[in-house]
């Protein structure tokens, strides 16, 4: 029933019951199964008829105050005392709500544009597949290839011999330099540059620097999303490689010959120096800095503002600090660090007492 409704009407213009939601999301109900919602809402601002979710324990207090009619809640979270809202329990509330938001976005968005706007430049040797959109003032270089269903927004540059896969979205002002490869179903946000020269310079006896030609490319595999104003440098030799399913935030610097493993996520303002290899399924916070030529094991978790100066060889570690150490060790160390002024005072006092005793 719900799937049919979602396919035929906007979520914001209809009523859906808790029973229907639970059936569609494979959840269980706590409360009134017949209560209905007609909108998606932030939990802090929700009113009657609103649907919201709780995936993190720090939001549990809002369950007592929200006006939402239905809350989608992760199975492991306990709500006590009972709340007025009907609870739909699912394995992962964030994923369930993301599915609803995605469907809502699809239904409310205007149809995707198709066709070639003018003025723009498309090389006669470029290959453009069916159902492609190319916005005004775009440049498509020699022997470039644009896959079926891809959208290239205005003021975008697609270099010579560059390949863009199917069903991609390349937003305004993106620059894809020569010979780069973008896989299928990728999203590249505005202002991003892929394939700029790596930072390679050889120091000379007179103190100057000889530029090292960057002759490789960048390969981005399928289902990657790259945030706005991120830069990914081409390899000196070979390829800088962003593997399947990677998610990069805004304002990230990826240097030459870096490899980022499948399904790794990296938050904003992280910088990765050349030839570093980051494993699969890593989670990296904002403003993390990586030294060059490192190997980072799979499933590594790195807290924001950490500095990674050496290899991470064990999988599934959590790290924090600069230079980074194990997360729990950092927490224990920080407790002592906060006490250093007091400990220093006590040490000076103790030292004076010892000196007085020795006189």
Residues annotated as part of the active site: 256
From CA 26, how far away is CA 20, in angstroms rounded? Answer: 10
From CA 244, how far away is CA 17, in angstroms rounded? Answer: 37
Measure the CA dihedral 245/247/248/250, to 10°.
Answer: 140
Q: Residue 16 has which token pair?
A: 């859906």
Handedness of CA 110, 114, 120, 123 (dihedral sign): positive
Residue 226: left if φ>0, alpha if ψ -120 to 50, beta else—which one? beta
CB atoms within 10 A of CB 229: 15
Q: Residue 353 has which token pair?
A: 């007492």
CB 170 within 8 A of CB 156: yes
Distances (CA, A) of 265 to 22, 53, 227, 281, 325: 30, 23, 11, 7, 20
Identify the DSSP state of 57: G
């Amino acid at each position: 029933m719900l799937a049919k409704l979602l396919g035929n009407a906007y979520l914001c213009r209809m009523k859906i019951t808790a029973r229907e939601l639970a059936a569609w999301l494979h959840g269980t109900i706590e409360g009134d199964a017949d209560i209905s919602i007609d909108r998606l809402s932030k939990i802090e601002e929700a009113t009657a008829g609103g649907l919201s979710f709780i995936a993190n324990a720090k939001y549990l207090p809002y369950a007592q105050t929200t006006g939402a009619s239905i809350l989608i809640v992760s199975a492991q979270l306990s709500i006590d005392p009972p709340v007025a809202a009907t609870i739909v329990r699912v394995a992962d509330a964030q994923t369930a709500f993301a599915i609803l938001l995605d469907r809502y976005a699809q239904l409310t968005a205007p149809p995707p544009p198709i066709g070639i706007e003018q003025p723009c430049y498309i090389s006669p040797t470029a290959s453009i597949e069916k159902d492609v959109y190319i916005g005004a003032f775009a440049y498509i270089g020699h022997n470039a290839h644009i896959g079926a269903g891809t959208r290239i927004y205005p003021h975008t540059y697609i270099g010579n011999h560059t390949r863009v896969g199917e069903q991609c979205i390349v937003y305004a002002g993106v620059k894809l330099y020569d010979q780069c490869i973008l896989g299928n179903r990728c999203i590249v946000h505005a202002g991003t540059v892929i394939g700029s020269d790596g930072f390679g310079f050889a120091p000379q006896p007179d103190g100057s620097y000889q530029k090292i030609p960057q002759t490789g490319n960048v390969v981005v595999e399928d289902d990657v999303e790259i945030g706005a104003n991120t830069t990914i440098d081409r390899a000196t030799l070979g390829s800088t490689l962003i593997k399947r399913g990677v998610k990069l935030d805004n304002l990230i610097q990826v240097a030459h010959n870096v490899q980022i493993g499948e399904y790794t996520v990296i938050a904003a303002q992280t910088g990765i120096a050349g030839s570093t290899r980051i494993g699969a399924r890593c989670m990296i916070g904002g403003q993390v800095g990586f030294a060059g030529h490192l190997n980072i094991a799979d499933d590594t978790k790195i807290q924001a503002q950490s500095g990674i100066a050496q290899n991470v060889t064990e999988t599934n570690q959590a790290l924090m600090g600069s230079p980074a150490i194990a997360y729990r060790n950092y927490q224990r160390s920080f407790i002592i660090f906060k006490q250093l002024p007091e400990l220093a005072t006590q040490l000076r006092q103790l030292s004076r007492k010892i000196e007085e005793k020795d006189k």
